[in-house]
Structure 1
């Protein structure tokens, strides 16, 4: 059986609050997306709490509403994407940050499709690997270092 929770971690040479800003501001996400799936998000959608929703357009032009289901400022955020006006089909993207010291943070990126119900999305879910997640972590590290 295919693993339905995929995760990757990496130490990033930046403070947790700086990294979290890049993740919690959807307009920044296309800069570091290692899957080359995110095209754009309007400014002004900074995630502030569980229950928030932000809108993103992917590279194929499809709009997704991302429903925030976990949120701890500076430490953790997770969302479930859905087609506009639809119930999320059950996959989740999570980011967790663990400050190591003032200038280093352990960042863990997880894709969880345990509850995915949309059969059309299963091939894409199965193809999402730790390497895909690591690519986002590597790009995030590069963007964070450019800003620092």
Structure 2
């Protein structure tokens, strides 16, 4: 589902919320999850454990003329239910886009996973001139959910 400032995709994954949350809160595994191909690796492998944390990712993409880094500030953290972060070019304040992963346990032991890519609060003119939103398409977000399903099996 898409609107003027966000895209949301959902999928039921045959895994517990705990196992999924374990993968999602480990930045070292984010390149494995990324359906866009932009995430190369993490710069620092500390596990996400609270809001306010910042983790740095090594990225690549034509939209930034090749390799670059992002700082990701954790803005949502509820163990086994939610992890969210706002992304910005390394060394700068979040510019208004964020990633939200929501997990809902099902009676079957499976988990409904919802991923939202929200760029509705981007107002920085320089970024808006450089990047055309949405930078990541719905199909790439769906690929991320598939990658998460595969990654939790390896866990």
TM exceeding 0.5: yes
Alignment of 1:101-116 (within 5 A): 101=107, 103-116=109-122
1:4 aligned to 2:5? yes
Alpha-carbon distance between aligned partners in 2 of 1:25 and 1:65, rounded to the nearest angstrom = 15
1:27 deviates by 0.4
> Secondary structure of the residue that 2:141 maps to in structure 1?
helix
Contact kept in structure 1, 2:44 and 2:56, CA below 8 Å: no
Residue 15 of structure 1 is matched in structure 2 by 16
Structure-to-structure mapping, 1:1-148, within 5 angstroms: 3-42=4-43, 44-59=45-60, 60-101=66-107, 103-117=109-123, 118-123=127-132, 125-147=133-155
CA deviation after TM superposition for structure 1 residue 121, in Å: 4.8
Q: CA deviation at 1:73?
A: 1.1
CA RMSD of aligned residues (A): 1.6
Query: Could you tell me how far apart the structure 2 residues matched to 1:97 and 1:17 are?
Result: 9
Distance 1:82 1:36 in 2: 17
Q: Which runs of 4+ in 1 moved over 6 A?
A: none
Give the match for residue 63 of structure 2.
none
Kept in 2, the 8 Å contact 1:65–1:82? The answer is: yes
2:44–2:55 CA contact under 8 A, matched in 1: no
What is the TM-score of this pair, normalised by structure 2?
0.86
After TM superposition, the score normalised by the length of structure 1 is 0.90
Structure 1, unaligned stretches of length 5 or more?
none
Q: List runs of 5+ in structure 2 lacking aligned partners.
A: 61-65
- Equivalenced residues, count: 145
